[in-house]
DNA sequence: ATGAAAGCGCTAACAT
DNA sequence: ATGTTAGCGCTTTCAT
């Protein structure tokens, strides 16, 4: 690999001059600049970012820790973060944890060894005040948590109001006349999942309905678990007439179960889910969903993180960005108790 | 950040000794090792990978260049590559090009500046003998191309037989009795897309059918383009009875068009697509698809790349790994000309 | 405006 | 087995 020194030799100038041409921070006479530029292109010189990082003690790299890139929610988030990062000339180093706390620990350790300038984190650890995260922050590496917050840690974050969104969604089912509403929640050790369950319970409580324990199921956010729990719930003797599902993948699993059991949606069971995805438009019935701004999670998170990195001001109070969600009502809940199009239109209008 | 030097001072040994403890390449007396280990954990020392990379002139980082991480095919591929890389202690630096050649150039330049040890590349450039790729290889940075091959470049690769897979798939439609078969191809500047079209034409030719230009449409691998072209084709006066679609996202778009136009599948039009995804199991009708081993593309590619990096032997002949595809026949093509379950079962059996 | 030189944190060759 | 040191490629301060 060509080095600054070789370029300098070829152009007949000092390494300092070449560096000044490359970085553009110090003016260089145009005659010399020309010669340097010529030498650079003749030799195909590419600045060594590793050496620069060592010297400057910053890498212009961001660590990104998510649970699984093959989950569309996270791939959107990563794309958002990458787009924001590249605009500011930062690169993204991404890792999957599969929501396993020990993987998260390892990954953060790797990221620190790599000397990333900051970390975007979708926490896996359910543990209170996780030391690896606290320690990272204490060492001056900015961390922005996305979607979920580690309990007991004061840290910048980008989240949505999961409780409120779940409550709105279940209220929508109640308004349609449903009284027997089940929930497929995510793993309750994750904050988002327990918030979703909380919203579900609040909505039922407001309507004066006692939650039925056998209709509250805990999954793991994967297709397979939605399928399995869906079958379980839908084949039970006294099955709910509506289901609230805490994420997109489990919803897909339930659709599969539905098809196998020859149940119609929304006639036999109405379905409402968290997370909306472009590809869900192709599904029939079109699913009622709480749309989460997956891309924005990443984009805003990266912007906030870079701002923290570059402003150096060790802020005392964390910034908490709250992104809006939107309940998008579609066929999977409509049509159940309604016979005329007018009724539906009216309901769509004020929701 | 704590450095080796500080650890050495604390433990009362030389930096060399600390380095030897950390890397484990040279034996250190257990008494001193203990002291070093103690100092490391007291100070929370994390080796500086940047400095190590500069010194060793290798980063243990792999560059990965794909078109778009939000496309499930590529997110699976990235996950495969990451799993293979981590097993060998390499990290993955991923970039999206959106299939734009100039982005690819920029990204590869960044990767070279980062001094990645090798590059996994899903090529975007349709240009012959693209200089940025040739130059990268010439400089001794191993490149493994995934899924597609840049024209005129001798390079390691992991691909599938797109032509053969497309031909098999169209032959399946022909066997069912279809004579009016359309194709939604990808952007024909991409090798995979033109191979798919080639297979389609071969199958028709063997059956003695002349291709109808108005039934050969070119999309761009996105949901929206499948939707648009699907509507176009399905609303035409003389529409095909079966459709071969070159990727998963466009197939989803067509399903959306189908639902809007109130057409049934497979009764009104049979559908067969490239790419199979776990989440497609939830769709009804279940789509007949050529299953591509997306995860394996990444996994095998990363393994091959690392082998190249570590064996240093500048191989003269490129390795070309061919992964198998599998035609998975489902409801979206079956049931069209068959009235009894027996017929279907029989057909499923010998395909 | 330009050159010389120190030093970022590490590894490995060399000396002991 | 352990300590000492050169140098990886770069930026930047200090002279000039």
SS (H, E, C) B111-132: HHHCCCCEEEECCCCCCCCCHH
Q: Give me the sheet containing A270-274, strands edge to edge.
A: A216-218, A181-185, A242-245, A270-274, A288-291, A326-328
Q: How many domains does chain B have?
A: 3
* B313 has a pLDDT exceeding 80: no
Which residues from chain B sit within 8 angstroms of residue A4, using beta carbons? Answer: none
Query: Does B53 reside within a domain?
Result: no
Query: Does B52 reside within a domain?
Result: no
pLDDT value of residue B96: 98
* B297 has a pLDDT exceeding 90: yes
Query: Does A281 reside within a domain?
Result: yes
Range of the domain at B124: 59-160+294-318
pLDDT value of residue A125: 81
Same domain, B96 and B200: no
Query: Does A54 reside within a domain?
Result: no
Of A50, A75, A110, the CB nearest to B50: A50
Same domain, A229 and A343: yes
**Where residue B280 falls among pLDDT bands split at 50, 70, 90?**
confident
Q: Do B51 and A54 touch (CB under 8 A)?
A: yes
CB B223: neighbour CB atoms within 10 A?
A: 23
A3 touches strand D (CB under 7 A): yes
**Where residue A90 falls among pLDDT bands split at 50, 70, 90?**
very high
Mean predicted lDDT score pLDDT of chain A:
91
pLDDT in tens, B262-276: 899 999 999 999 988
- Judged by DSSP in three states, B342 sits in helix
pLDDT value of residue A350: 36
pLDDT value of residue A313: 67
Same domain, A101 and A18: no
Same domain, B342 and B280: yes
Q: In angstroms, what CA-CA distances link A114 with A53, A119, A265?
A: 10, 11, 50
* A192 has a pLDDT exceeding 80: yes
Q: In angstroms, what CA-CA distances link A168 with A269, B28, B108, B155?
A: 19, 63, 47, 55
pLDDT in tens, A319-346: 999 999 999 999 999 865 443 333 444 3
* B88 has a pLDDT exceeding 60: yes
pLDDT value of residue B281: 76
pLDDT above 90 as % of chain B: 80
H-helix or E-strand spanning residue A249: helix A248-261
Same domain, A311 and A343: no
* A109 has a pLDDT exceeding 80: yes
Distance CA(B283)–CA(B46), nearest Å, equals: 48
Q: Give me the sheet containing A91-96, strands edge to edge.
A: A320-323, A156-160, A143-146, A118-121, A61-66, A91-96, B91-96, B61-66, B118-121, B143-146, B156-160, B320-323
pLDDT value of residue B154: 95
Dihedral in degrees, nearest 10, Cα atoms A243, A244, A247, A250: -10
pLDDT value of residue B56: 97
Q: In angstroms, what CA-CA distances link B177 with A234, B138, B320?
A: 39, 52, 36
Of A51, A256, A278, the CB nearest to B281: A256
* B111 has a pLDDT exceeding 90: yes
* B227 has a pLDDT exceeding 50: yes
DSSP B31-66: HHHHHHHHHHHHHT----HHHHHHHHT---EEEEEE
Nucleotides, chain D, CB distance < 7 Å = 1-5, 7-13
* A122 has a pLDDT exceeding 80: yes
**Where residue A276 falls among pLDDT bands split at 50, 70, 90?**
confident
Q: What is the CATH number of the domain that holds B22?
A: 1.10.260.40
Query: Does A230 reside within a domain?
Result: yes
For residues B232 and B217, is the Cβ–Cβ distance under 8 A? yes
H-helix or E-strand spanning residue B300: helix B294-311
The shortest C-alpha distance from B79 to chain A (Å) reads: 7
Same domain, B146 and B197: no
pLDDT value of residue A235: 93
* A348 has a pLDDT exceeding 50: no
B4 touches strand C (CB under 7 A): yes
pLDDT value of residue A340: 35
**Where residue A279 falls among pLDDT bands split at 50, 70, 90?**
confident
Query: Does A53 reside within a domain?
Result: no
> A279: closest CA among B289, B79, B147, B227?
B227
Same domain, A118 and A146: yes
B188 touches strand C (CB under 7 A): no
pTM as predicted: 0.92
Q: Which residue has the higher pLDDT, A260 or B315?
A: A260
Same domain, A303 and A265: no
* B341 has a pLDDT exceeding 80: no
Which residues from chain A sit within 8 angstroms of residue B48, using beta carbons? Answer: 54, 113, 115
pLDDT value of residue B190: 83
Same domain, B182 and B152: no
* B160 has a pLDDT exceeding 50: yes
Same domain, B220 and B342: yes
Query: Does B77 reside within a domain?
Result: yes
For residues B104 and B132, is the Cβ–Cβ distance under 8 A? yes
Q: Do A139 and B91 touch (CB under 8 A)?
A: no
Q: Look at A64-68, A310-314, B149-153 and tell me which has the smallest mean pLDDT.
A: A310-314
Q: Look at A77-81, A126-130, A344-348 and tell me which has the smallest mean pLDDT.
A: A344-348
Same domain, A344 and A205: yes
Same domain, A197 and A342: yes
pLDDT value of residue A249: 87
* A347 has a pLDDT exceeding 50: no
Of A70, A112, A259, the CB nearest to B75: A70
Q: Are strands B181-185 and A143-146 parallel, antiparallel or unpaired?
A: unpaired
Mean predicted lDDT score pLDDT of chain B:
91
Q: What is the CATH number of the domain that holds B204?
A: 3.40.50.2300
pLDDT in tens, B50-84: 999 999 999 999 999 999 999 999 999 999 999 99
**Where are the strands (E) in chain B, listed by range?**
61-66, 91-96, 118-121, 143-146, 156-160, 181-185, 216-218, 242-245, 270-274, 288-291, 320-323, 326-328
* A67 Cα distance to chain centroid: 9
pLDDT value of residue A248: 87
Query: Does A173 reside within a domain?
Result: yes
* A177 has a pLDDT exceeding 70: yes
């Amino acid at each position: 690999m060509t080095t600054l020194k070789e370029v300098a030799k070829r152009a007949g100038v000092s390494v300092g001059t070449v560096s000044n041409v490359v970085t553009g921070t110090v003016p260089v006479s145009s005659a010399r600049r020309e010669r340097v530029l010529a030498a650079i292109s003749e030799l195909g010189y590419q600045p060594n970012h590793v050496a620069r990082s060592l010297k400057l003690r910053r890498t212009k790299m961001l660590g990104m820790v998510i649970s699984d890139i093959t989950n569309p929610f996270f791939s959107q988030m990563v794309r958002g973060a990458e787009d924001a990062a590249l605009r500011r000339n930062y690169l993204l180093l991404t890792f999957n944890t599969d929501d396993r706390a020990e993987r998260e620990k390892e990954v953060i350790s790797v990221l620190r060894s790599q000397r990333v300038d900051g970390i975007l984190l979708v926490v896996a650890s359910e543990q209170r005040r996780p030391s690896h995260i606290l320690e990272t922050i204490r060492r001056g590496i900015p961390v922005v948590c996305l979607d979920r917050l580690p309990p007991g840690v004061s840290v910048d974050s980008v989240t949505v109001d999961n409780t409120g969104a779940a409550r709105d969604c279940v209220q929508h089912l109640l308004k349609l006349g449903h009284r027997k509403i089940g929930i497929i929640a995510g793993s309750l050790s994750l904050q988002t999942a327990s918030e979703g369950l909380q919203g579900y319970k609040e909505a039922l409580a407001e309507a004066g309905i006692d939650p039925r324990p056998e209709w509250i199921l805990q999954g793991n956010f994967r297709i397979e678990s939605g399928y399995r729990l869906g079958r379980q719930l839908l084949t039970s003797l006294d099955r709910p007439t509506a289901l609230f599902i805490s994420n997109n993948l489990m919803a897909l699993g339930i659709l599969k179960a539905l098809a196998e059991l020859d149940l119609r949606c929304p006639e036999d069971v109405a379905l409402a889910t968290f997370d909306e995805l472009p590809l869900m438009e192709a599904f029939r019935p079109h699913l009622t969903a709480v749309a989460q701004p997956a891309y924005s999670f990443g984009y805003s998170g990266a912007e906030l993180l870079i701002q923290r990195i570059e402003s150096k001001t060790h802020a005392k109070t964390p910034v908490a960005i709250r992104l809006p969600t939107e309940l998008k009502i579609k066929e999977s809940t409509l049509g159940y108790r309604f016979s005329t199009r007018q009724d539906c239109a009216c309901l769509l209008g004020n929701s």
